[in-house]
Structure 1
C-alpha cells in the first residue's frame, strides 16, 4: 500500500471516532460506523488534517524502523510502498492487542486500506485528510 494510505489508516486506528467522517466504500459503512464509536473530550483532535500533516516525519521514522526489523520491505519502502514481509509480528506485540484492537485492525486492513489512494473516489478524498484535486488520474 502507498505510505500515505498507511498514514490515514494509522490515524483511524489511533482515533477510530474519525471513521464517522469517512465516506465509506460500498459495503463498509455499517461496520465502520459501529467501530467509530463516539468521540469524547479525551480522544478528540482539534484538526485531524493538521495532525496527519504534522506527524508525517514520525510516520517516516516508524516505517523505517519496521523495515529495519524486516517486518516490511525496505526495497518497496524506497518507492513509497509499504509491503509486508513474511516475517511474523512478534508475539509480545500481539499479546497486548485486545479483541477490539484486532477487530479494528482487521477492518481497516481489509476495507479501508484497500481503497485506492488517489482521485475523487480515493482514500484521500473520502477521508478529507489530504488534498486530492491535483492527483494524477
Structure 2
C-alpha cells in the first residue's frame, strides 16, 4: 500500500505503541479476543468516533467527552468507520505478531486469535511515554477500559453490533 501522507492508523509501529498504552491503562492481563483489542485501538486512535457507538443508557455522557476530541480528526475527508477499521487490520496484526516475537504477547493465545500480555517488562522509557499520554487522555482511556470491562464482544448488543465495525450476526452465542 503506497501512502502519500503519514497516517498513524496505517503504521504497525504506532499500533504496537497503542497496544502497550491500552495494556498499561486497562491492565490487560487476562486473555482478550483480538477483535476487542482492535476495537479499543480504533477508538484510542479516533476518540471522536465514540459518538457513533450505540452506548448503554448509563454511558451516554461519553458522547460529550468524545465530541471534545473532534479537533484530533484528520484534516482531510476520511472513509466511514468500518472502512478505516478494515484497512487498519493488517497493521494491527503485524503489530501483534511483533509483540509475540518480542515476548510481550503470549504465542499460545495469539494462535487462538487472542491477546495475552506476558509479564515481560517494557523498557522504562516506553512505560513513561505510555503513562504520559494515558494521563493526557485520561477521560478517553477510562472510557476504553470501561468498554473492555462491560461490553461483551459478540452477539446482538455486543461490541461488534454496537460499534458497527465488525459483523456480529454469525457469532456463536
TM-score by length of 2: 0.68
Q: 1:23 aligns with which of 34, 54, 60?
A: 54
The CA RMSD over aligned residues, in Å, is: 2.1
- Structure 2 unmatched ranges of 5 or more: 1-31
Q: How far apart are the structure 2 equivalents of 1:26 and 1:69?
A: 41
Question: What is the match of residue 58 of structure 1?
Answer: 91
Off by >6 Å, runs of 4+ in structure 1: none
Higher helix proportion (structure 1 or 2): 2
Q: How far apart are the structure 2 equivalents of 1:134 and 1:105?
A: 30
Q: 1:13 aligns with which of 10, 33, 44?
A: 44
Shift of 1:24: 2.2
Aligned residues: 135
Q: Deviations over 1:44-73 (max 9, x none)?
A: 632110111122111110001111222221
TM-score by length of 1: 0.84
- Structure 1 unmatched ranges of 5 or more: none
Q: 1:112 aligns with which of 147, 165, 168?
A: 147
